[in-house]
Homo-oligomer: A and B are copies of this chain.
Amino acid sequence: MAEYIEQIEKLSDCFRRIDGVGRKSALRMAFSVLDMSEEDVREFADALISVKTDIGYCPVCRNISGEGLCSVCRDPERDHSQICVVEDFRAVAAVERAKGYRGLYHVLHGAISPMKGVGPDDLTIKDLLTRLGDGKVEEVILATNPTVEGETTAMYLSRLISPLGIKTSRIANGVPVGGDLEYTDELTMRRALEGRYDL
């Protein structure tokens, strides 16, 4: 056994394609699959295929969706006057996890990045403007990432949307709850001070 047996190597290579999984973890995971029941492994394989083939995009907000309209857009109890604009479905999940937000979403599928050759036309901005055309939306919350690309995209959208008479807002920067001031970078600290509120 100069190397591991072929099937293990192969599966281990597949696990490595997952973000953040290194060589050792991938091998450990492949070994772990050997310990599973055949039924569990078949279910696992089916679940993999299903994620890739059964998931599409909501025709309205462009978030991932099992079938047609996503569950947020379909929900009559959500506030249709607010749209939270995010870069990807991971951000939708993050906002939903935080609970509290009851409006709709719009997923851009990226952010404007001249470095990566991503321009406004590569994002779902046209779909967003179409949605804003019905006059029901009162506020667009720009929740792109606090990165150069995210900020640029937020600025760009704000300039596009404000003239339509719709309020635009940006999520706050500041010290993360539970974080330690000692480890807060300068820019975050400055933003946290600027964003201070009265007690």
Residues in A lying within 8 Å of B, measured CB to CB: 1-2, 4-8, 10-11, 13-14, 17-21, 27-36, 38, 40-55, 63-66, 70-72, 89-90, 92-93, 96
A51 and B41 alpha carbons, distance in the complex (Å): 9
- Beyond A44-B48, A66-B6, whether A55 also contacts B34 by CB under 8 A is yes
Question: Inside 8 A of A11's CB, which chain B residues have their CB?
Answer: 44, 47-48, 50-51
B38 touches A29 (CB 8 A): no
A11 and B17 alpha carbons, distance in the complex (Å): 16
B45 touches A7 (CB 8 A): no
B5 touches A72 (CB 8 A): no
Nearest 9 A/B pairs, CB to CB: A45-B45, A14-B44, A11-B47, A41-B52, A19-B32, A18-B32, A45-B48, A5-B66, A10-B47
